[in-house]
Structure formats: structure tokens, C-alpha cells
Amino acid sequence: MSSNKQSGRSSGVAIALGVGIGTALGVATGNLGMWLGLGAGIGLALAFAFRGAIAQHVNSKSAIRREE
């Protein structure tokens, strides 16, 4: 699988985690609309911030598979 597909999946996971956290905070505070948007933004920010680390992880796993 190419690293672009892997990084896209990782971005999706980060956004899903952000929305999940936003939903939990929104329900707890009673302001679901605001926290859903903020959660998605936090997820996008995490995906953007860690895209280099994710790419390195994917490349190292690919190297391990090639050695086997």
C-alpha cells in the first residue's frame, strides 16, 4: 500500500478522534455544535502536525516488510 493511502487513513483516524473528543466535550458542556467543529479542527491540526512522523512510521514498516 502506498504511503499516500496510509497518510490519508491516518488523517481520517485523527479527524475521527478529534470529532469523538469534540462530541464528548459537547455533550458534557451542552454545546454540541461548537465542540463538533472544534473537534474536527483539532483532528485536522493533529493530522497536519504529525504527518512527518506518520510518514516515517509507514516507511519504516515498509522497510521491515521488504527485509522479510
Domain limits of the chain? Answer: 3-67
Give residue 22's pLDDT.
Answer: 92
Three-point CA angle 62, 60, 43, nearest 5°: 100
3-29 and 51-67 helices cross at what angle (nearest 10)?
Answer: 140
| Residue 30: C-alpha distances to residues 17, 19, 33, 36, 39 (Å) | 19, 15, 9, 12, 15
CA pair distance 1, 37, nearest whole angstrom:
31
Q: What is the pTM of this model?
A: 0.61
Confidence of residue 54 (pLDDT cuts 50, 70, 90): low
Examine the pLDDT at 35 and tell me if it is beyond 70. yes
